Chains A and B, each alone.
Chain A
Amino acid sequence: MAILAHAEPQPGAEPALNVQTSEPPRLHVRARARELWADRELLGNLVRKDIKVKYKSSILGAAWSMLNPILYLAVFAFVFSVVLKNNIPHFAVYLFSGLLAWNLYSTALGLGARSVVDNASLVTKVYFPRELLPISSVGTAGVDLVLQAIVLLVFMIALRAFVVGWNLLLLPLALFDLVVFTCALNMWVASLNVRYRDVQYLVNIALLLWFWVTPVVYPSAFVWKPLSRHFGFKLLYLANPMADVVLGMQRALYGTVSPPGVKGGVLAPVSVGWLALLLGAVAVGSTALFFVAWRTFFRMSGDFAEEL
């Protein structure tokens, strides 16, 4: 009895390695962040696993993550440059700079919604910080982004379409916003999907609509003028963080606001500084959102193993 009965921790006991205390009911950000950092190798392995699973039993394998955007690009470029004749110079570069961000977002969310459910066998059998699952989905989409960025770079070099200047500073800012915002939403959809499996389908439908309120395929200048007429609409449009991220990406990579010969211009006629401020605001908002989503995810993750 004496041995098994509850006892105070002995003061003389030497501190053993790897002392784990059960998770508290509420998120302690700093301690948890340290734990996640310690598990970064596992995060890498989860990303690797996602990629392996994705291309399992396909002949072309990882080449698909390059082929996909190239084909996507070919279709859109054909429709917009040849069929609709929009006259935008280097339309491929314009399209791709926005698509880069959008693809990360949509791929990560699609994977993220299913991340906990698809890894049920791990979640119900082993302990690891569950946050790694939705984050690893963003990582997997990030690998795609790198491959696609290489394709874009090739295009830019081939077309000699560089605009070097302050605009390039928008790139890291836009990418930061993109990753933080995507992580935040991923935490939500991943945890909600454990209880309500419709979330993964709803996400796909929402993405379809969302795509069109984000200036990826149409020139942002095209919507800018009508929006400028009504401040409320403009605010609403810019309240979509993805629109802001895409505006930033396009300004950074495509750069030319109003190329000669295009009536009304291509990019939103705002200064780089204005965009930087916008992206800064998004950074603050996304970070706040991330912490809220993280807390929700953490609270729900304690019962994942039971609900799967």
Chain B
Amino acid sequence: MAAAITVEGVGKQFRRYRERPTSLKERVIRFRVHEERFWALQGISLDVPEGQTLGLLGPNGSGKTTLLKLIAGILRPTEGRITTRGRIAALLALGAGFHQELTGRENVYLNASVLGLSRSQIDSRFGDIVEFAELQDFIDTQVKFYSSGMYVRLGFAVAVHVDPAILLVDEVLAVGDIAFQRKCLDRVEEFQRDGRTIVLVTHAPDQVVRTCHRAVILSKGHVVNEGSPHDVVRDFRMLMAREDVAYGWSGGTKEIEIVSAAIYGRDGATPGIFFPGQELTLQVDLKANTPVEDPVVSFAIHDDQNRFAFGTNSDWRKVRWPRFEGKHRVEFVLKSLPFVDGRYYVTLGVHSRDSKRVYHLQEQRYTFDMVRGEENPGMVYIPVECRTEPL
């Protein structure tokens, strides 16, 4: 079978300015600009056969998104060549390319037209797009009035309805509400069954194992491993452990920032190792860069198989800030750890109540280890009181 995507010896060089002049005035005054060039990607060669799903894994700054943009044609390779067969639709970060002043309808037409559809083709699919995006009542509203969720839904709806042979997905599935995420994943699976080619950039290894045929790890702009998702993901975890960073993605609008976080035990010390049933305090120091109304702080704990073990948030625990200003310390006290064994990864997030706006998210940045005692066989620890009385 022909390869849907052929990447041959591709490299991408970027300019990096030590102090980038953004105006001609500065350019003239500074006269000589300190301009460094660096390779974001180098010597990348890979084929994605038609109908396969490829997962791209890698730490931040490894060049995964750059590679995706090169395949999409949004960036041009400095060297090498990329050949693609069939229409490409790319889902990059938040939303497709929408113009704020135009209505949803006008944007659908413009976007689909950029993706290569004729007017009559768009006409015949318009109903489906609107239905998929669940925006019947808002399609004639300017998109500047859309919530970020609506924006993402419409972007995804257009991309999947232009009938692409190749779909490029960049961590977008993590956005939007749960129901829509489910719908998108269903669509991606349907695309796989239809024999379309998909490239998925993700920071969630379990997603790669679940949905991809092949996986590639990028690190510092080079392919360091490729092969079956299972093997590659195991290597990836080792790579991340070696580099001593949790493979966490970190980002957000930074209206509220996570300044620091710490995990400690009952005595206030950081034990590093916890035993089942012990108390664990997760302390988060936050700083508001601008006042924010009604934020929610949440955390999630994943095990070393990247299975979601537990999570909660300040809102459910009845801690609320009608207006968050300045610095605050938040502590989550886990009264009794139910885990018995292994390493656990903590994800921290500050976001709006509807989760649609993420102020700061640190994915799986913090870790703690559990060691089971002899008296704790099984999967979980349950505090058990043993009683007896004579009958």
Q: Which residues of A line the B interface, CB within 8 A?
A: 1, 3-7, 9-10, 13-14, 16-23, 25, 41-42, 45-46, 49, 52-53, 56-57, 119, 121-128, 195-199, 202, 301-303, 305-306
Q: Does B216 contact A (CB under 8 A)?
A: yes
Q: Does B47 contact A (CB under 8 A)?
A: yes
- Among B15, B27, B87, B114, contact of A128 (Cβ-Cβ < 8 Å): B114
The reply to whether B75 and A305 contact each other, CB–CB distance below 8 Å, is yes
B312 at the interface (CB under 8 A from A): no
B14, B45, B81, B113: the one within 8 Å of A42 (CB): B113
How far, in whole Å, are A127 and B113 apart by their CA atoms in the complex?
11
Give the residue name and chain of the A residue nearest to B8 (CB). A6
Partner of A126, one of B3, B47, B115: B115
Q: Does any Cβ of A come within 8 Å of B368's Cβ?
A: no
B1-17: CB near A (< 8 Å → 1, else 0) gives 11100101110001100
Q: List 30 A-B contacts (CB under 8 A).
A: A4-B46, A4-B54, A7-B3, A10-B2, A18-B165, A19-B84, A20-B84, A20-B85, A22-B83, A23-B76, A41-B118, A41-B119, A49-B106, A52-B101, A53-B99, A56-B101, A119-B99, A121-B97, A121-B98, A122-B97, A122-B110, A123-B74, A126-B72, A127-B72, A128-B114, A197-B23, A302-B75, A303-B75, A305-B69, A306-B14
**B272: chain A residues within 8 A (beta carbon):** none
Determine if B114 and A196 form an interchain contact, defined as CB atoms under 8 angstroms apart: no
A128 contact set on B, CB distance < 8 A: 114
Q: A45-B109, A202-B24 are in contact. Are A9 and B6 (CB under 8 A)?
A: yes
Kindly state the separation between the CA atoms of A189 and B165 in the bound complex, as whole angstroms. 36
Evaluate contact between A3 and B23: CB separation under 8 angstroms. Answer: no
**Residue from the list A1, A17, A52, A57 in contact with B226, Cβ < 8 A:** A1
The answer, yes or no, to whether B265 is at the interface (CB within 8 Å) is no
B-chain residues with CB within 8 Å of residue A199 when the two chains form the complex: 24
User: Whose C-beta in chain B lies nearest to the C-beta of A128?
Assistant: B114
Is B77 an interface position by the 8 A CB rule?
Answer: yes
Contact B83 A21 (CB under 8 A): yes
Chain B residues within 8 Å of A13, by CB: 1-2
Contacts of A14 in B (CB 8 A): 2
| Nearest-CB residue, chain B, relative to A44 | B113
CB neighbours of A21 from chain B (8 A) = 81-83
B22 interface residue per 8 A CB criterion: yes
Chain B residues at the A interface, C-beta cutoff of 8 Å: 1-3, 6, 8-10, 14-15, 21-25, 27, 45-49, 52, 54, 69-70, 72-88, 90, 92, 95-102, 106, 109-111, 113-116, 118-119, 142, 165, 214, 216, 226-227
Complex Cα spacing A52 to B88, Å: 27
Measured in the bound complex, the distance between the Cα atoms of B293 and A256 in whole Å is 70
10 nearest CB pairs, A to B? A302-B76, A127-B73, A6-B45, A13-B2, A122-B97, A125-B97, A22-B82, A16-B85, A121-B97, A45-B113
| Chain B, interface SS category | mixed
Cα(A114)–Cα(B346), bound, Å: 44
**Number of A-B residue pairs at CB separation under 8 A:** 154
Interchain nearest-CB distance for A199 vs B (Å): 7
A157-B47 Cα distance, complex, nearest whole Å: 66
Known: A3-B49, A22-B81, A305-B69. 16 other contacts (CB 8 A): A7-B6, A10-B2, A22-B10, A22-B73, A42-B114, A46-B110, A49-B99, A52-B101, A52-B102, A121-B97, A125-B95, A126-B74, A126-B111, A126-B114, A198-B23, A305-B75
Q: How far is the CB of A22 from chain B (nearest CB, A)?
A: 4
Cα(A14)–Cα(B52), bound, Å: 18
Most chain A CB within 10 A, of B22, B49, B73, B115, is at: B73
A257→B106 CA distance, assembly (Å)? 49
In the assembled complex, the Cα of A45 lies from the Cα of B48 at a distance in Å of: 33
Tell me, rounded to whole Å, the shortest Cβ–Cβ distance linking A55 to chain B: 10
Q: In the complex, what residues of B have CB within 8 A of residue A195's CB?
A: 22
User: What separation, in Å, do the CA atoms of A45 and B22 have in the docked complex?
Assistant: 31
B106 cross-chain contacts in A, Cβ below 8 A:
49, 52
By beta carbon, the residue of chain B nearest A121 is B97
Residue contact A20 to B102, C-beta cutoff 8 Å:
no
Which of B3, B69, B74 gathers the greatest number of chain A CB atoms within 10 Å?
Answer: B74
Residues of A within 8 A of B9 (CB): 6
Nearest-Cβ distance from residue A181 to partner chain B, whole angstroms: 23
Q: Could you tell me the distance between the alpha carbons of A306 and B20 in the complex, rounded to whole angstroms?
A: 13
Most A CB within 10 A of own CB, among B79, B99, B102: B99
| Alpha-carbon distance between A1 and B111 when the two chains are bound, in angstroms | 37
| Known contacts A122-B97, A125-B92, A125-B96, A18 near B74 by CB under 8 Å | no
Provide the residues of chain A in CB contact with B214, threshold 8 Å.
3-4
Q: Which residues of B contact A124 (CB under 8 A)?
A: 74, 92, 97
| In the complex with contacts A41-B119, A198-B23, A199-B24, A22-B76 CB distance below 8 A | yes
A56-B84 Cα distance, complex, nearest whole Å:
38
* A17: B residues at CB distance < 8 A: 85-86
CA–CA, A197 and B27, complex, Å: 11
CA distance A9 to B82 in the complex (A): 12
Measured in the bound complex, the distance between the Cα atoms of B69 and A197 in whole Å is 24
Whether the Cβ atoms of B76 and A49 lie closer than 8 Å is: no
Contacts of B76 in A (CB 8 A): 22-23, 25, 301-303
| Complex-state Cα separation, A199 to B28, whole angstroms | 13
CA distance A6 to B9 in the complex (A): 9
Nearest chain B CB to A47's CB is how many angstroms away? 11
Please, which residues of chain A bring their CB within 8 A of the CB of B25?
198
Task: Known contacts A4-B214, A22-B70, A126-B115; decide if A53 and B109 are in contact (CB<8 Å).
Answer: no
Closest residue on chain A to residue B86 by CB atoms: A18
Complex contact B77–A22 (CB within 8 A): yes
Bound CA span A219–B107, Å = 46
Contact of A23 with B226 in the complex, beta carbons under 8 Å: no
The CA-CA distance from A9 to B81 in the complex, in Å, is 13
> Which residues of chain B have C-beta atoms less than 8 A from A57's C-beta?
101
Contact B70 A18 (CB under 8 A): no
Bound: A196/B23 CA distance, A: 5
Minimal beta-carbon separation of B333 from chain A (angstroms):
43
Are A197 and B22 also in contact (CB < 8 A) when A4-B47, A19-B84 are? Answer: yes
Kindly provide the distance from the CB of A151 to the nearest chain B CB, expressed in whole angstroms.
27
State whether B87 touches A19 (Cβ < 8 A): no
